[in-house]
Each structure stands twice: as structure tokens, then as C-alpha cells.
A and B are shown apart, each in its own frame.
Chain A
Amino acid sequence: AQKITQTQPGMFVQEKEAVTLDCTYDTSDQSYGLFWYKQPSSGEMIFLIYQGSYDEQNATEGRYSLNFQKARKSANLVISASQLGDSAMYFCAMRELNTGFQKLVFGTGTRLLVSP
């Protein structure tokens, strides 16, 4: 069964600094997708970045990048130049692509607090 582990319940970072949010995963499927979502206190779930298991390069989207280490089964999110608006809950999620299942399985999340 697929599983996502986020070991950091909370993280603090100062404005303008970079921060890494950890995510490890477990799957027996060779083809899978990894996702990061941001959930502000208002509740919506905002898609940030996607990494496919066969992608050779790490994904990047603006200030977000994904440090994908396939052998270690980790997919850490790096946020550069943190902003106050980055304060939110961040979820790592995975979808297995060969099983026919469509569900996303989420980790327990990391709450990021950006201080001035």
C-alpha cells in the first residue's frame, strides 16, 4: 500500500530565507506521481508542484522546487525566499499510476510559519 510520511509537524523560517519540507514515500509501483499542495488557514487546497517518477530533472515552479531522490524515496519541497504569505499547511501526496487507482494519498502535513 502506498504511504506518505511527513516527519515535521511544524517548521519556522524567517522571511526571505529558504526552507525545506521533508516528504518520504513508499510504493511498489514503478510509475507514480508526487504532488505538493498548500492549504492556507482559509482552507482551500492549492496545487504547487508535480514530479513524475520517470522525470529525470527535479521539478521547479517559481520559488518552489522539488528535491527528488528516487533511490531514497524522498520528494522534499524547497521554498526559496520565503514570504509571509507562505505561512500555511503543506501536504505531500502521491498517486500510483499503474494500479488503476486514481486516489491521492496524503501525508499528515507540515505547518510552516514564516516570521518577519
Chain B
Amino acid sequence: AAGVIQSPRHLIKEKRETATLKCYPIPRHDTVYWYQQGPGQDPQFLISFYEKMQSDKGSIPDRFSAQQFSDYHSELNMSSLELGDSALYFCASSRPGGGPGQETQYFGPGTRLLVL
């Protein structure tokens, strides 16, 4: 079965640089979510999109922005990178509502970002 695709899988950036992470949800999934997982920590919700509109917002820094495109893929743009942004960034997707399991979020493999 098709899974969530994230690119790149690994990324190394310098402080103050920008980064763009991409996410391709499971086919026919209409909602994407972004999470940040710092070393040794649990994932923290950043932002989500449903049908290309922002649907929920968590602890996303103002330096970060995201959007969902007409083909449902999503991009997380990160500017003025800081050392503390080094983390594993997950994208997840879920399918349209109705019935048990609609709420399940399926995660991609993650993008490991290292800021030097």
C-alpha cells in the first residue's frame, strides 16, 4: 500500500539559512499534518491542512510557514534556521471522514534536519 512520502529524507543547513520540506500524502487523503520531534522527545504538532486550508495550528514558530497545494501535497518552509530547529520533521495524512478509523494519522518516514 502507498505510504506518505517525504523529501528530502536528510537535510543539513547552516544557521540563518532556509529549508523547504515536502510531503506527499497517501492517495485520496485530504488532510496533512506536520510534527516536529526533537532528540529524545515526543512529536509536537505544528500545523495541519484540510482541503488546502489551514485547519489547526500548534506550536509553529513564526519563522515557519506551510501550505497545501491543489494536488494535496504540502510544503513546510523554514527560514532563519536556528540550532534548536534540528529535529525529525514528520508529515502525516488522514483520509476523508466517515466511519471508524477516519481519525487515524499515518506518518511518513520523516525528514531529519540538522542545523549547524
Q: Which residues on A are within 8 Å of B, measured CB to CB? A: 33, 35, 37, 43-47, 50, 52, 55, 91, 95, 97, 100-109
Number of A-B contacts (CB under 8 A): 62
Least CB distance from B108 to A in Å reads: 8
Residue B56 at the A interface, CB < 8 A? yes
Residue B24 at the A interface, CB < 8 A? no
- A103 engages B42 (CB within 8 Å): no
Binds A, one of B15-23, B77-85, B96-104: B96-104
Give residues of chain B (63-116) contacting chain A, Cβ–Cβ below 8 Å.
88, 90, 92, 100-101, 103-110, 112
- A105 engages B45 (CB within 8 Å): yes
- B101 engages A50 (CB within 8 Å): yes
Given that A37-B107, A43-B109, A44-B109 are contacting pairs, would A107 and B42 also be in contact in the complex, using a CB cutoff of 8 Å? yes
- B107 engages A47 (CB within 8 Å): yes
Contacts of B112 in A (CB 8 A): 43
Contacts of A104 in B (CB 8 A): 33, 35, 43, 45, 92, 105
Other A-B pairs beyond A33-B104, A102-B50, A103-B48, 19, CB < 8 Å: A37-B107, A43-B88, A43-B110, A43-B112, A44-B107, A44-B109, A45-B107, A45-B110, A47-B107, A50-B104, A55-B100, A102-B48, A103-B33, A103-B58, A104-B45, A104-B105, A106-B43, A107-B42, A109-B42
- B31 engages A102 (CB within 8 Å): yes
Give residues of chain B (1-58) contacting chain A, Cβ–Cβ below 8 Å.
31, 33, 35, 41-45, 48, 50, 55-56, 58
In-complex Cβ contact of B56 among A44, A101, A108 (8 A): A101
Contacts of A109 in B (CB 8 A): 42
Residue pairs across A and B with Cβ atoms less than 8 A apart, 20 shown, are A43-B88, A44-B110, A45-B43, A45-B107, A50-B100, A55-B100, A91-B43, A100-B56, A101-B56, A102-B31, A102-B33, A102-B55, A102-B56, A103-B45, A103-B48, A104-B43, A104-B105, A105-B45, A106-B44, A108-B42
**Residue from B31, B88, B104, B105 having most chain A Cβ neighbours under 10 A:** B105
Least CB distance from A32 to B in Å reads: 9
A45 to B93, CA, bound (A): 12
Q: What 10 A-B pairs come out closest when comparing CB atoms?
A: A103-B45, A45-B107, A106-B42, A102-B56, A33-B103, A44-B109, A102-B48, A101-B56, A106-B43, A50-B104
